[in-house]
């Protein structure tokens, strides 16, 4: 079908039953229908019977509408939300092992500091940095580290959450839910 | 009460109202067969190949409206069943398929007759389950039947490891099914229905385009009421045949690639197209940009993902076809009142006259021949002899299209054909399921010589289980539809289509214990069919027809519907067809 809309990235949150095989149902749907997943991350929610997936998908309005409908059609899918045009926060966690020659060590630490990245491993000739942020921030960090030589890189894929309402219409939750990026149970991949 | 998993399975089937299962045993499901040995109330029909069990379950489901059930073993049996599952998935047929699996501790070990059954069936079922605990079995089976039969129906697969069937557990029948992640919408949105009603009253050139959804939701009465009330002509898809009586003056017969001239012209010129339980399949629309270009489109479907998938819809209504049509009839009455309705009916007189003109100009037709049997004539003869009241099942190919075009349908749920997947060999096993579900009824399997041999081994099942299927082979000595495409689109470069050395189908039937009859001249057709229908038990009628007869009208794949080829084409038309061949 013709549609004037340009393809763009959408961030879609999917609540699913925390059951064996759900991930392959979602992944299979994308491969069967020829949609592209840019990233996907999965983790348990506060309710251990429910998992939450965050998908980043590129497509025009028409493709995204179909993606949402097809996701919803899966029996194990409880809720599908497109966060793209909602007020939301997106984060991704990245681990980078970067060359750290003596003449570059101070520079790398300075960059890490500016980007609020943590050094989580120090070796004679390399650092491992842990960084979180949105896509633009992480890309900028990588750009600065590239000249030193990045040995290996791993990203969790994006996770996203809607912001709370700006007016005091709801009681605040007693306990703050851990941010997904801080949650050790979040696993995922990016390509 | 503690029962073995196998016994729990049978107790659940009984409570789901299952009276028939189609299956074939093997190592992994032997516990179920052993439990069947002294279990009352379920008839098991032993098929000869597993796909046949699936197709038979489809035939049962299509004609009864209940869930069809099949049971096969692990590994190769499950992979053989895959075709039937995909077939049921594409045509939205509710079946529950049980497969055996190696014991849970061997899963993943490459054990004998092991396959990743749920991995294989995941994309070709509505949902599937691997049962890992006998205590879950009853709940899973309950959910499987619920999912298969509600919302947009479809196949559900349950994989049963052998140890799960042997272990015992407390049997608790779950009275209720509640799935927080699955809640189909049945009632259409009242505002949308009102909007659609206003469009129906206002339209000058409306057409109802109805598909299999009308049959699966038993909406034929509501459809008839709406069509008559508003005087809107009705065209049906291959899956929708029988949803509207063929002899009704408002019936435009089938549309699409091999649809009638008048149906395709009516849709092309319509200003309002109301799609009911249909999905704008490529065989219906042809080139999508040229499909109903001036029409506003109302789409009623229970599956939201069918709406605006292939074509932009102006008024989407998600819901069960029967409930939405009921509400639409009421809304039309309310919105229009007696006067408004009378006006609307009056205003579309010219439209109906125009359609009548198209119908007169290009009815379905073929050239009669005194010496060679024309396949269309065979279908007409079947239609007349059965008065449109038999259960008709087909294979896939030219004979299927002729059956769709020339059989005069009276009732819903009397037509079984592989629409979406186009599974050759579907006819005989499906007809078997229909015959088993309706003892005493006349079940005719219209098949092709290519299609029939893909599952002809099931004649043995028909004979042994006394399933009196009457198979009529439209024998044109080859894969006729491919021959037609090679002639029209591939410039007559015929390859891999001739089946001149097919077995003697009369002898083949007799070898299986069935009755075989042959007709080679037009004058023999009716007597052969009469004899077949009067003979008890399974019969095969081999009708030798003109191998150069083609299905018309025809829209070359990827072409626009208005560019139908109506008769044996000239060279220029063939060249054009070859060029416009952008689809498949």
A20: contact with B, CB 8 A cutoff: yes
Between the CA of residue B44 and those of B27, B73, B81, B433, what are the distances in Å? Answer: 17, 14, 17, 11
Contact A66 B179 (CB under 8 A): no
Distances (CA, A) of B257 to B102, B378, B476, B580: 45, 22, 21, 14
| pLDDT above 70: residue A1 | no
Q: Following DSSP, what letter does each residue of A71-120 receive, concatenated?
A: HHHSTTEEEEEE-TTS-EEEEEEEEEEEE--GGGHHHHHHHHHHTTPEEE
| Closest-CA distance of chain A to residue B378, Å | 40
The interface predicted TM-score of the complex, written ipTM, equals 0.90
What dihedral do alpha carbons B498, B550, B546, B392 form, nearest 10°?
100
List Cβ neighbours of A136 (8 Å cut-off, separation of 6 or more). Answer: none
Q: Where are the beta strands (DSSP E) in B190-338?
A: 206-210, 234-236, 251-254, 272-276, 296-301, 315-318
Is the entire prediction scored with pTM above 0.90?
A: yes
* Beta pairing class for A37-44 and A50-59: antiparallel
Residue B3: its H or E element: strand B2-4
Residue of A nearest to B129 (CA): A21
Whether residue B570 lies within 8 A of chain A, CB to CB, comes out as: no
Nearest CA in chain A to B288: A1
Continuous segment of H or E residues that includes residue B213: helix B212-216
Give the three-class secondary structure for B534: helix
Q: Is the pLDDT of residue A175 over 70?
A: no
What residue in B sits closest to A28 (Cα-Cα)? Answer: B123
Residues from chain B that touch A20, judged by Cβ atoms under 8 A, are: 130, 132
Does the domain at residues B375-544 carry the CATH identifier 3.40.50.970? yes
Q: Does A16 touch chain B (CB under 8 A)?
A: yes
Nearest CA in chain B to A31: B123
pLDDT of residue A2: 45
Please say whether the beta carbons of B47 and B22 come within 8 A.
Answer: yes
Query: Closest approach of chain A CAs to the CA of B227, in angstroms?
Result: 29
- Fold that domain B2-170 belongs to in CATH: Rossmann fold (3.40.50)
* pLDDT at B584 (0 to 100): 57
CB proximity A90 to B under 8 Å = no
CB distance B461 to B455 below 8 Å: no
Q: How confident is the model at residue A178 (pLDDT cuts 50, 70, 90)?
A: very low
A33 touches chain B (CB under 8 A): no
B156 in reach of chain A (CB within 8 A): no
- Let me know: does A156 contact A123? Beta carbons within 8 Å: no
Within 8 A of A2 by CB-CB distance, chain B residues are: 289
Chain B residue numbers touching A78 (CB-CB < 8 A):
180-181
Q: Which residues of B touch A77 (CB under 8 A)?
A: 181
**Domain A89-155, second-level architecture:** 2-Layer Sandwich (3.30)
In DSSP terms, which residues pair with A162 in a beta bridge?
Answer: A88
Strand ranges (DSSP E) for chain A? Answer: 8-17, 37-44, 50-59, 77-82, 88-99, 118-123, 126-133, 150-155, 159-162, 187-190
Mean pLDDT of A103-126: 96
Chain centroid to Cα B214, Å, comes to: 12
CB-CB contact of A53 with A72 (8 Å): no
Query: What is the pLDDT at residue A183?
Result: 41
Low-confidence winner among A8-12, A71-75, A164-168 (lowest mean pLDDT): A164-168
Alpha-carbon distances of A109 from A113, A124, B234, rounded to whole Å: 6, 14, 74
* Domain coordinates in residue numbering, chain A: 8-86, 89-155
Please state which CATH number belongs to domain B190-361. 3.40.50.1220
Q: Where in chain B is the domain with CATH 3.40.50.1220?
A: 190-361
Strand, coil or helix: what is B118?
helix
Nearest CA in chain B to A64: B309
Task: Please tell me if residue B182 touches chain A, with a CB cutoff of 8 Å.
Answer: yes
Q: Identify the bridge partners of residue A10 per DSSP, sorted by sequence position.
A: A57
Token output for B538: 């399974």
The residues of B carrying an active-site annotation are 50, 112-113, 162, 481
- CA–CA min distance B86, chain A (Å): 13
B288-295: list long-range contacts, CB under 8 Å, 24+ apart.
B288/A1, B289/A2, B289/B560, B290/B560, B290/B561, B290/B562, B291/B267, B291/B560, B291/B561, B292/B267, B292/B268, B293/B268, B294/B269, B294/B270, B295/B207, B295/B267, B295/B270, B295/B271
A70: nearest CB among B179, B305, B310:
B305
At B481, is the secondary structure helix, strand, or coil?
helix
The answer to whether residue A174 scores a pLDDT higher than 70 is no
CATH fold group of domain A8-86: Alpha-Beta Plaits (3.30.70)
Taking CB atoms and an 8 Å cutoff, what residues of chain A touch B132?
Answer: 20
Please state, in angstroms and rounded to a whole number, the distance separating the CA atoms of residues B416 and B409. 12
B289 neighbourhood in chain A, CB within 8 Å: 2
Answer whether A32 touches B (CB < 8 Å): yes
| pLDDT in the model for residue B199 | 97
pLDDT of residue B549: 96
Minimum distance, in Å, between the CA of residue B304 and any CA atom of chain A: 7
Residue A171 pLDDT = 52
The pairing of strands B391-394 and A37-44 is unpaired
Q: What is the pLDDT along chain B (584 residues), one digit of tens a residue?
A: 899 999 999 999 999 999 999 999 999 999 999 999 999 999 999 999 999 999 999 999 999 999 999 999 999 999 999 999 999 999 999 999 999 999 999 999 999 999 999 999 999 999 999 999 999 999 999 999 999 999 999 999 999 999 999 999 999 999 999 899 999 999 999 999 999 999 999 999 999 999 999 999 999 999 999 999 999 999 999 999 999 999 999 999 999 999 999 999 999 999 999 999 999 999 999 999 999 999 999 999 999 999 989 999 999 999 999 999 999 999 999 999 999 999 999 999 999 999 999 999 999 999 999 999 999 999 999 999 999 999 999 999 999 999 999 999 999 999 999 999 999 999 999 999 999 999 999 999 999 999 999 999 999 999 999 999 999 999 999 999 999 999 998 889 999 999 999 999 999 999 999 999 999 999 999 999 999 999 999 999 999 999 999 999 999 888 888 889 998 888 877 877 777 666 55
Picking from A2, A25, A69, the nearest residue to B304 by CB comes out as A69
How far apart, in whole angstroms, are the C-alpha atoms of residue B570 and residue B580? Answer: 15
- Backbone phi, then psi, for B342, in 5-degree steps? -60, -40
C-beta atoms of B122 and A77 within 8 A: no
Residues of B in contact with A60 (CB under 8 A): none
Q: Give start-end residues of each CATH 3.40.50.970 domain in chain B.
A: 2-170, 375-544
């Amino acid at each position: 079908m013709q549609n004037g809309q340009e393809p763009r990235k959408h961030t879609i949150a999917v609540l699913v039953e925390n059951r064996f095989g759900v991930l392959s149902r979602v992944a299979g749907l994308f491969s069967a229908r020829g949609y592209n997943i840019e990233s996907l991350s999965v983790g348990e929610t506060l309710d251990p019977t429910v998992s939450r997936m965050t998908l980043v998908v590129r497509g025009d309005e028409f493709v995204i509408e179909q993606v949402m409908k097809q996701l919803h059609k899966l029996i194990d899918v409880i809720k599908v939300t497109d966060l793209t045009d909602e007020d939301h926060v997106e984060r991704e966690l990245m681990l980078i092992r970067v060359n750290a020659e003596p003449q570059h060590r101070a520079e790398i630490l300075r960059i890490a500091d500016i980007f609020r990245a943590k050094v989580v491993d120090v070796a004679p000739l390399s650092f491992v940095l842990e960084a979180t942020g949105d896509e633009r921030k992480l890309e900028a960090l990588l750009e600065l580290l590239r000249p030193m030589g990045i040995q290996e890189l791993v990203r969790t894929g994006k996770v996203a959450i809607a912001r709370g309402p700006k007016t005091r219409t709801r009681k605040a939750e007693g306990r703050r839910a851990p941010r997904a990026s801080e949650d050790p149970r979040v696993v995922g991949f990016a390509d | 009460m503690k029962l073995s998993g196998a016994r729990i399975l049978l107790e659940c089937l009984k409570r789901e109202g299952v009276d028939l299962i189609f299956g074939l045993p093997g190592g992994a499901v032997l516990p179920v067969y052993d439990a069947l040995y002294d279990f009352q109330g379920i008839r098991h029909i032993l098929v000869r190949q597993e796909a046949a069990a699936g197709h038979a379950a489809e035939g049962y489901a299509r004609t009864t409206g209940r869930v069809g059930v099949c049971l096969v073993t692990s590994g190769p049996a499950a992979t053989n069943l895959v075709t039937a599952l995909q077939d049921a998935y594409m045509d939205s047929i509710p079946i529950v398929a049980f497969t055996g699996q190696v014991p849970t501790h061997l899963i993943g070990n490459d054990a004998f007759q092991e396959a990743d059954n749920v991995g294989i069936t995941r994309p070709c079922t509505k949902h599937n389950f691997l049962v890992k605990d006998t205590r879950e079995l009853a709940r899973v089976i309950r959910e499987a039947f619920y999912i298969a039969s509600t919302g947009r129906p479809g196949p559900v697969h349950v994989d049963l490891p052998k140890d799960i069937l042997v272990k015992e557990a407390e049997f608790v029948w779950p009275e209720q099914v509640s799935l927080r992640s699955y809640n189909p919408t049945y009632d259409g949105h009242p505002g949308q229905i009102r909007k659609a009603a206003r469009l129906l009253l206002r339209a000058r050139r409306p057409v109802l385009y109805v598909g299999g959804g009308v049959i699966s939701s038993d909406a034929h009465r509501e459809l008839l009421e709406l069509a008559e009330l508003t005087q809107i002509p009705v065209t049906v898809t291959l899956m929708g045949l029988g949803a509207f009586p063929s002899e009704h003056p408002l019936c435009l017969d089938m549309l699409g690639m091999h649809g009638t001239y008048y149906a395709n012209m009516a849709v092309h010129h319509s200003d309002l197209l109301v799609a009911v339980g249909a999905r704008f399949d490529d065989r219906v629309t042809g080139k999508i940009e040229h499909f109903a270009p001036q029409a506003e489109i109302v789409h009623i479907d229970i599956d939201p993902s069918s709406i605006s998938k292939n074509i932009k819809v102006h008024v989407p209504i998600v819901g069960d076809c029967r409930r939405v049509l009921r509400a639409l009839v009421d809304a039309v009455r309310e919105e229009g009142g007696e006067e408004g309705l009378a006006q609307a009916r009056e205003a579309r007189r010219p439209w109906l006259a125009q359609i009548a003109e198209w119908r007169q100009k290009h009815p379905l037709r073929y050239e009669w021949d005194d010496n060679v049997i024309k396949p269309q004539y065979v279908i007409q003869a079947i239609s007349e002899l059965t008065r449109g009241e038999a259960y008709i099942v087909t294979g896939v190919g030219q004979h299927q299209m002729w059956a769709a075009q020339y059989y005069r349908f009276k009732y819903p749920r009397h037509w079984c054909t592989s629409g979406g997947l186009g599974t050759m060999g579907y006819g005989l096993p499906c007809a078997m399921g229909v015959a088993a579900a309706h003892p005493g009824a006349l079940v005719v399997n219209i098949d092709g010589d290519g299609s029939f041999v893909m599952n002809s081994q099931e004649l043995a099942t028909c004979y042994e289980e006394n399933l009196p299927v009457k198979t009529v082979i439209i024998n044109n000595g080859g894969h006729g539809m491919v021959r037609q495409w090679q002639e029209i689109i591939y410039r007559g470069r015929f390859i891999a289509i001739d089946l001149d050395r097919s077995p003697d189908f009369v002898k083949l039937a007799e070898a299986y214990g069935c009755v075989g009859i042959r007709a080679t001249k037009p004058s023999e057709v009716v007597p052969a069919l009469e004899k077949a229908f009067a003979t008890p038990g399974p019969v095969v009628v081999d009708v030798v027809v003109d191998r150069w007869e083609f299905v018309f009208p025809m829209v070359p794949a990827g072409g626009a519907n208005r560019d139908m080829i109506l008769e044996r084409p000239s060279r220029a038309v063939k060249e054009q067809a070859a060029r416009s061949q952008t689809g498949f």
